[in-house]
Amino acid sequence: MRVCMILEGSYPYVFGGVSSWTHQYIQAMPDTEFVLWCIGAKAENRGKYKYKLPDNVVKVQEVFLDDALRLKLRGNDNYKVRFTQEEETELGKLLDGKYLNWDILFELFQGRQVNPISVLMSPVFLDLIMEICNEKFPYISFAEYFHTVRSMLLPELYLLTQEVPQADIYHATATGYSGLLGSLGKWKYNKPYIVTEHGIYTREREEELLRADWVLPYFRKQWIDLFYTFSDCAYTHADRVTCLFTRAMETQRELGCDESKQSVIENGVHYERFCNIPPKKENGWIDIGAVVRIAKIKDIKTMIYAFAEVKVQVKNARLHILGDVDDEEYFEECKLLISQLGVKDIIFTGVVNVVEYLENLDFTILTSISEGQPLSVLESFAAGRACVTTDVGCCKELLNRGDEFGQAGICVPPMHKERLALAMIEMCQEKSLREKMGKNGKKRVEKYFTHEISMDKYRKLYQEVI
């Protein structure tokens, strides 16, 4: 069996999160061949992998969104494209942020092999965009609107022209650009298509766009609607849609996913790698760990602010931030903030062996503003370390599932440095409490969240759709 795993902005280019999950996933299925269809932002990262690919990865097909900027008309291209009435209607819906029949666009760019530049230079496109601008944005410069829409659509249309690798199953790890390519694979070869969402992609993009300073306020909804159309495309074409916890499944339904396609498959960790890690030896410090890549969505700045307050009351506290730098600019901002606050004892370790490093930690923290079911929390529990998390994804459920094991940490609101600091101080000062919580978490992972349990469910899913 050959599975085309469709990945966006993750494996094999960055460490952590979905990348870690993907690497372990492929390794756990040695009898399955994997084709990686990888979507990246910048072509300069072509071939720059952070992982040694497993032997059962038989092909890597890379596509980079900034290559769309280098598209030109070919010799036989004509900007006066003749569209069918159906094609013109669906292009209008795409421009207007309305749900559409994606199969018609798949045929336009795959079957007819129309160049996206021909579409964007066509009189039909100009007429459509003028009509929408006059209707929705009558007081905004047409040139501004025109270039905004072109920049939104060009990467998307470019993806629709890509060669589709052949596989027995298409498996996308999100509903965004990767969901679009997965739908394209389903359309072209009529093979089963699965979407596995680790977080709710559409809602995550919406949160980012609402905060983004590069998006003009009056175009925010236009951008957000675009990603909603992506999720509709993915949910419509998918045979099965999985997520990590019940609340995420409810959100998928709100976004239009058919309930009959849905199931929950929780994450799992290699319990045996972590369960024998001994308690930390006394060294005069309270060592706090954050296993996290350096990115805005992980909200490292709130972590820094909160730790500065912790140091006022717990002089021997020390914060270890374990992970790769995903956003260099944000990393520099974090270091500047540390300098401005004058806070000591924050250590950026870079990429480390987490199994070995956990032995040096008393407990862990996670300050993300968006998550699914974070592996770092499960790994912390498996090592017997309690965790302070923000109330995102299913973190609250992981800390207290309502089972026989009890509380395994403290949950606080996202971006709330005071509540985060109080929780960290409590963990620092109450050794017996954090040790008890760590034991509770360890038992919970052993019963519900092992890698074997999770992988068995995915194997059964593959057999079902085949």
pLDDT the model gives residue 282: 92
Q: Average pLDDT, stretch 233-238? A: 97
pLDDT the model gives residue 74: 78
pLDDT tens digits for 418-466? 999 999 999 999 999 999 999 999 999 999 999 999 999 999 999 999 9
Ramachandran category for residue 212: left, alpha or beta (phi over 0 → left; psi -120 to 50 → alpha): beta
Pairing of strands 57-64, 169-172: unpaired
pLDDT tens digits for 238-253? 999 999 998 899 999 9
Return the beta strands (E) in 41-89 as ranges: 57-64
* Listed residue (137, 26, 118) closest to 76, CA to CA: 118
Answer whether 171's CB lies under 8 Å from 6's CB: yes
Is the pLDDT at 75 greater than 80, yes or no?
Answer: no
Answer whether 428's CB lies under 8 Å from 310's CB: yes
> What is the third-level CATH fold of 2-70+163-264?
Rossmann fold (3.40.50)
Pairing of strands 193-196, 286-291: unpaired
What is the separation of C-alpha 290 from the centre of its chain, rounded to a whole number of angstroms? 18
pLDDT the model gives residue 80: 79
Please report how many Cα atoms fall inside a 13 Å half-sphere around the Cα of residue 332, on the Cβ side: 2
Confidence label for 44 from pLDDT (cuts 50, 70 and 90): very high
Domain 271-448 sits in which CATH superfamily? Answer: Glycogen Phosphorylase B; (3.40.50.2000)
Could you check whether 2-70+163-264 and 271-448 share the same CATH topology?
Answer: yes
Q: Share the mean pLDDT of the chain.
A: 94
What residues contact 78, with CB distance under 8 A and at least 6 apart?
118
- Report the largest interatomic distance among the alpha carbons of the chain, rounded to a whole angstrom: 75
Is the pLDDT at 233 greater than 90, yes or no?
Answer: yes
For the chain, domain boundaries = 2-70+163-264, 85-152, 271-448
Q: Average pLDDT, stretch 378-392? A: 96
pLDDT the model gives residue 162: 96
